[in-house]
Amino acid sequence: ELAPGESVPMVGVVEKPKADVAPSNLAIVGRYVLSADIWPLLAKTPPGAGDEIQLTDAIDMLIEKETVEAYHMKGKSHDCGNKLGYMQAFVEYGIRHNTLGTEFKAWLEEEMGIKK
């Protein structure tokens, strides 16, 4: 079990597996810090799911060359692969923003007709 704030070496990556065949209950949520060695691997990665070049395929190749770690982030995540999840993430980010959060929240409340 990987606790929030911990990292472990990855042994492989599977692009969008069905829940009943997923090798674990861990997921990649789109934040990467990878070595420059990923670029030539991406260049030779053939199109995969959706006829797109999948970063996960290149990460799998990178794992064969060097240690790639998974980090269990602390906090909340949203599925930014769908429109609602993306919008939820954006609104949460906007509300919490250090310099614009107060102004953004006031604008959002006005848009929603929330009176203070």
pLDDT per residue rounded down to tens, the chain (116 residues): 789 899 999 999 888 888 899 888 887 877 789 999 999 999 999 997 788 898 999 999 999 999 999 998 888 888 888 999 999 999 999 999 999 999 999 999 999 999 77
pLDDT score recorded for residue 28: 81
pLDDT score recorded for residue 31: 79
CA dihedral 25→31→37→42, nearest 10 degrees, is: 80
pLDDT score recorded for residue 50: 81
72, 4 contact by CB (below 8 A)? yes
Residue by residue, DSSP assigns 42-104 as: HHTPPP-GGGS--HHHHHHHHHHHS--EEE--SS----TTSHHHHHHHHHHHHHH-TTTHHHH
Beta strand residue intervals within 10-98, DSSP E: 69-71
Distance CA 77, CA 49 (A): 23
Residue 114 in tokens:
């929330």
